[in-house]
Each structure stands twice: as structure tokens, then as C-alpha cells.
Amino acid sequence: MSRILKNVHKSAASLHEAGFVDDVTMREFDALCLPLLRDYSPEEIKRIGASNKG
């Protein structure tokens, strides 16, 4: 998350705590701030699984 987005999120959280942003809006904002999921190839999944069996 970029520094700007972190600051905007912190401001939104403060507004939520003060009662100016409702729960639904805050959850939607939280969801927008989540990092994108990465697609893994089958080979990468096998390698990750194998490395976790140790």
C-alpha cells in the first residue's frame, strides 16, 4: 500500500471512529485497500507445498 493510501485509510478510520463514516462504507474502503492477489502457476504451488513439508 502506498504512503498516500495509508494516510487516506488512517483518516477514514479516524472518521469512522468519530461516527462520520458508517461500518459498511468503512468495510468497502478496507476492501479497496487490500493488495491484489497473485496468480500462481501449478509448478509454483507444488514448490511452495514441498517447501512447507520440512
Angle between helices 23-32 and 3-17 (to 10 degrees): 170
Digit-by-digit pLDDT tens for the chain (54 residues) are 689 988 989 999 999 999 999 999 999 989 988 888 899 999 999 999 998 876
For the whole model, what pTM was predicted? 0.59
For residue 48, give Cα distances in angstroms to 15, 43, 54: 41, 9, 11
Q: Where are the domains of the chain?
A: 3-51
Query: For residue 35, what are the contacts with CB-CB under 8 A and spacing of at least 6?
Result: 1
Q: What is residue 32's predicted lDDT score, i.e. its pLDDT? A: 86
How far apart, in whole angstroms, are the C-alpha atoms of residue 9 and residue 30? Answer: 8
Query: For residue 5, what are the contacts with CB-CB under 8 A and spacing of at least 6?
Result: 33
